[in-house]
Amino acid sequence: MKRKILLTALMASGWATAQSMPEDFADMTVLLPDAVYDIRYYGNHNFVGSPVEGYLAPKCILQGKAAKALVKVAQQAAEQGYKLKVFDCYRPTQAVAHFMRWAQDLSDTATKAEYYPNLAKDKLVGEYIAERSGHSRGATVDLTLMQQDAQGAWQELDMGSAFDMFDPLSNTEHPEISELQRENRYTLRSLMEAQGFANYAMEWWHYSLSDQPYPDTYFGFPVQ
């Protein structure tokens, strides 16, 4: 009871540092085992170039309402021949702090060629890297769609840019992508919007539940 009272007080103040996952959060690898989970910040293949603080396991964790909505997205996607591939879900506040330290170290440009080839590193904070991330509220997910090729292997749809490429090309409505790439982005957006998710226009892969249970709370428990 005391723990619930403390967590309620923290939520009311707009932040939370609980070191254990709240009861209404869920592990999507259990609820949605058929999705592909490529949790980038658990490993080295990300814009930081190393495992990110707070990711102790390659799991997708979401608040229950968002979790149920994503299961419905996956079901509707499957009816159209698609499968979800997930890159990130709930993001601990310590991970966001790690991102900010990386962004402030302008001498570290080891991942520039892959992740921000056309932008200076000092331009990333704001539109692409947030000082307070919506992911920390538990109702935001980064994902794409996969489809089977002629040999039956699952492949990502061509979205015109890679996940976490910080570039105008990743803007959902970028005018220079091909018609196929635009159609693929729109397919993902249609599936997500049908279940109450809204796209962040700067990043075609980024979706947040419009009606969030914790709109002003940023959690700090680790992904484990």
Beta strand spans in 70-139 (E)? 82-88
Best CA proximity match to 82, nearest among 29, 132, 34, 16: 34
Residue 206 labeled ligand binder: yes
Residue 174 labeled ligand binder: no
* Phi, psi dihedral angles at 28 (to 5 degrees): -70, -20
Q: Decide: 207 and 66 in contact? Cβ < 8 Å.
A: no
> What is the distance between the alpha carbons of residues 212 and 13, in angstroms, rounded to a whole number?
17
Q: Decide: 222 and 55 in contact? Cβ < 8 Å.
A: yes
Residues in the chain: 224
Best CA proximity match to 187, nearest among 169, 199, 175, 176: 199
Longest dimension (CA), the chain: 57
What are the CA-CA distances from residue 53 to residues 43, 57, 97, 99, 186 (Å)? 10, 11, 9, 9, 33
| Active-site residue, 176 included | no
Catalytic residue among 79, 176, 183, 203: 203
Concatenate the DSSP letters of all residues of 114-135 into one string: HH-TTS-GGG-BTTTB-SS-GG
> What is the distance between the alpha carbons of residues 41 and 47, in angstroms, rounded to a whole number?
9
Residue 88 labeled ligand binder: no
Active site residues: 203
Residues at the annotated binding site for Zn(2+)? 135, 142, 206
Residues at the annotated binding site? 135, 142, 206
